[in-house]
């Protein structure tokens, strides 16, 4: 049985009722027919369980209902609906610095606080010196409490509270007490208590602290439980929500998608992954696409900058000799012809950029950005029967055999306050350009789709030595790397449920059309 079980807890506040506004106001409002009692749900149907040694982080904006929930857990408040069961004693460290008596001395306050926390007199007698030493208040013991600085008050509060040895420990913003030196000391002390095997609940506005300490996370917003589960994924989603890159509804939808079960999990939303997802979805399979980048599309992802469609990871010109592939992509998006020299039957750039193609391919398929395979694997190990992994194969195995190498490329985007920079879309750098030495290719994006804008966006491309973590372009298929790839293939053979596909998964270069053709093949084999 769980040490703490919170089941469907709702807590309601009434505002503006008779008892709150007083008799005069009540009569006044009654007379003017302006009397309303508003109810306000601080928490709505919150559920979670906590085991020994676990640490739950509660995150959410101000007014999310965190403190109210903690009060219900601590037994200070009765839930309006639902119930809380606790196996063992609870110590709640809430709003530490308040609740002291300014008239009493430091020592008297220390004893009173100890008594409030349920200590015995014997225990206080034994630990009092330790408490005062920890709070560094030896010289202030007999001073009236109101003469202390607020930092000192918090220090004393923390020092007393941290003597607890509870089964369930509730910490509300208590790890951010005092100055830098004391904060370190208090964090160490807190970790010691947690290591002692208590089940802990932590409310903190420091997301880093939550990510570092907590084994799971409960996300509340306006009293509503958005999600409860894996720390890394939820902190990631919450951060995106704070950055306003996703809405709350989107975050909920994402969490719902991640909590489902799928036939195929597709890691990476490049053209290979998206095509595979489309094909499997069309064959009635349930697919989920995830991408660790903040947007979908892998290296073909585009972004609108000042009315110009910019290819974020280098210029992509679609060219193919295959009628099958050309017809396939034209199902989703139409192309603006490109009159460059590839000498192939069809050449062009999708109208509005590649995002339209990606969206078309992923229509009806749930896709989540900002989530990596590593995060998902630990949080939802059973999310799908099969996995298509289009990330780097060495990364899948955590580089156990070493790093595969790629050609490097650095792209510097510049927004220029002029209508045009050069005549064509792709050109060699200008001869008199000394600012961009070493640049091998210059791309002015607006030419691709003949977009009109007062500004222009230009990409300067530089060859660059590749290092782990940098953008991966062409695999360097030399003898050394191929031998290493061979080792990874052997490892991959032990994971029959995982398909390694695409440029990084198969460690081979694919043009866009090749990637699509390969994905179509792969999908056909799966059925």
Partner 1 sequence: MFKKLIQHRFLFEELVKRDFKKKYKRTVLGMAWSILSPLLQLAVMTLVFTKFFGRNTPHYMIYIFCGNLVFSFFSDATKGGMSTIMGNAGIFTKVNVPKYLFLLSRNIQALINFCLILVVFFIFVAFDGLPFTWRFLCLLYPICCLILFNIGVGMILSALFVFFRDIQYLYDVFTMLLMYLSAIFYTIDRYSYNVQCAFLLNPMYLFIRYFRKIVIEATVPTIWFHLLMAADVVIALGAGCFMYKKYNTKFLYYV
Among 8, 28, 88, 103, binds partner 1 (CB under 8 A): 103
Binding flags for partner 1, 312-351, as an x/- string (CB under 8 A): ----------------------------------------
Whole-number minimum distance, CB 120 to partner 1, in Å?
6
* CB 424 within 8 Å of CB 315: no
Told to check if 421 binds partner 1 by CB under 8 A, we report: no
Of 14 and 524, CB closest to partner 1: 14
Residue 458 CA to residue 423 CA, distance in Å, equals 12
* Tokens representing residue 217 in the block: 């996370």
Q: Does 282 bind partner 1 (CB under 8 A)?
A: no
Residue 79 phi, psi (nearest 5): -65, 140
**Complex with partner 1: residue 157 or 473, whichever CB lies closer:** 157
Instruction: Give the interface segment with partner 1, choosing from 44-52, 95-103, 322-330, 428-436 (CB under 8 A).
Output: 95-103
Q: Contact 369/273 with Cβ under 8 angstroms?
A: no
Half-sphere exposure of 256 (CA within 13 A, CB side): 9
Nearer to partner 1, 172 or 221 (CB): 172
* DSSP conformation letters of 278-304: HHHHHTT--EEEEESSSSSSGGG-EEE
Show contacts with partner 1 in window 123-142 (CB under 8 A).
Answer: 124
Least distance CB 16 / partner 1 (angstroms): 12
Of 89-97, 147-155, 310-318, 497-505, which part binds partner 1 (CB under 8 A)?
89-97
* 527 is an interface residue for partner 1 by CB under 8 A: no
Q: How far is the CB of 42 from partner 1 (least distance, A)?
A: 10
The candidate with the shortest Cα–Cα distance to 506, out of 469, 478, 477, 526, is: 477
Strand, helix or coil for residue 340: coil
Residue choice 51, 101, 433, 435 for contact with partner 1 (CB under 8 A):
101
Torsion of CA 194, 196, 199, 204, to 10 degrees: -10
Q: Identify the CA nearest to 83 among candidates 49, 39, 41, 38.
A: 49
What is the x/- site pattern for partner 1, positions 43-82, by CB under 8 A?
Answer: ----------------------------x--xxxxx----
What are the residue ranges of helices labelled H in 87-195? Answer: 106-116, 121-135, 150-161, 180-195
Does the footprint of partner 1 cover residue 21 (CB under 8 A)? Answer: no
Of 108-116, 220-228, 303-311, 516-524, the segment contacting partner 1 by CB under 8 A is 108-116
By CB under 8 A, tell whether 145 contacts partner 1. no
Residues 464, 12: Cα–Cα separation, whole Å: 60
Residue with tokens 């009540």: 26
Rule CB under 8 A: say whether 196 interacts with partner 1.
no
Helix (H) or strand (E) holding 217: strand 216-221
The residue whose two tokens read 């339209």 is 356
Interface with partner 1 by CB under 8 A: which residues? 13-14, 19-20, 22-23, 71, 74-78, 90, 92, 94-95, 98-101, 103-104, 108, 111-112, 114-121, 124
């Amino acid at each position: 049985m769980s040490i703490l079980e919170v089941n469907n807890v709702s807590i309601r506040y009434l505002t503006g009722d008779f008892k709150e506004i007083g008799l005069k106001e009540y009569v006044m409002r009654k007379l003017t027919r302006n009397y309303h009692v508003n109810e306000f749900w601080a928490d709505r149907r919150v559920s979670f369980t906590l085991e020994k040694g676990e640490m739950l982080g509660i995150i959410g904006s101000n007014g999310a209902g965190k403190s109210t929930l903690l009060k219900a857990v601590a037994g200070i408040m009765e839930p309006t609906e639902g119930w809380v069961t606790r196996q063992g004693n609870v110590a709640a460290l809430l709003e530490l610095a308040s609740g002291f008596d300014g008239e009493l001395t430091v020592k008297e306050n220390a004893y009173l606080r100890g008594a409030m926390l349920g200590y015995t007199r014997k225990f206080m007698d034994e630990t009092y010196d330790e408490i005062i030493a920890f709070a560094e208040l030896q010289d202030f013991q007999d001073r009236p409490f109101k003469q202390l600085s607020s930092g000192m008050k918090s220090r004393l509060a923390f020092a007393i509270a941290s003597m607890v040895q509870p089964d369930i420990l509730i910490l509300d913003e208590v790890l951010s007490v005092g100055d830098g030196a004391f904060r370190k000391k208090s964090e160490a002390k807190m970790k010691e208590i947690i290591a002692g095997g208590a089940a802990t609940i932590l409310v903190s506005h420091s997301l880093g602290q939550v990510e570092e300490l907590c084994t799971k996370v409960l996300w509340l917003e306006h009293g509503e439980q958005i999600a409860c589960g894996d720390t890394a994924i939820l902190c990631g989603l919450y951060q995106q929500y704070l950055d306003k890159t996703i809405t709350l509804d989107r975050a909920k939808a994402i969490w719902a998608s991640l909590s489902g079960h799928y036939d195929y999990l597709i890691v990476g939303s490049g053209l290979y992954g998206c095509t595979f997802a489309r094909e499997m979805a069309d064959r009635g399979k349930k697919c989920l696409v995830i991408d660790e980048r903040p947007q979908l599309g892998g290296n073909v992802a585009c972004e609108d900058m000042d009315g110009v469609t910019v290819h974020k990871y280098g210029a992509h010109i679609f060219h193919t000799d295959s009628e099958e592939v050309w017809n396939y992509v034209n199902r989703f998006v139409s192309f603006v012809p490109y009159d460059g020299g590839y000498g192939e039957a069809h050449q062009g750039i999708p109208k509005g950029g590649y995002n339209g193609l990606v969206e078309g391919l992923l229509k009806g398929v749930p896709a989540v950005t900002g989530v990596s395979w590593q995060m998902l694997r630990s949080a939802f190990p059973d999310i799908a029967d099969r996995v298509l992994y289009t990330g780097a194969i060495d990364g899948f195995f955590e580089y156990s055999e070493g790093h595969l190498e790629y050609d490097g490329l650095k792209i510097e985007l510049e927004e220029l306050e002029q209508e045009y920079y050069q005549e064509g879309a792709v050109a060699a750098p200008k001869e008199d350009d000394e600012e961009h030495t070493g640049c091998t290719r210059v791309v002015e994006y607006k030419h691709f789709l003949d977009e009109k804008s007062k500004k222009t966006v230009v990409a300067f491309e530089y060859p660059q030595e590749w290092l782990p973590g940098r953008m991966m372009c062409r695999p360097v298929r030399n003898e050394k790397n191929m031998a290493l790839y061979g080792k990874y293939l052997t490892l991959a053979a032990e994971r029959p449920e995982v398909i390694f596909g695409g440029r990084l998964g198969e460690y081979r270069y694919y043009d866009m059309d090749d990637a699509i053709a390969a994905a179509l093949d792969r999908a056909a084999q799966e059925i």
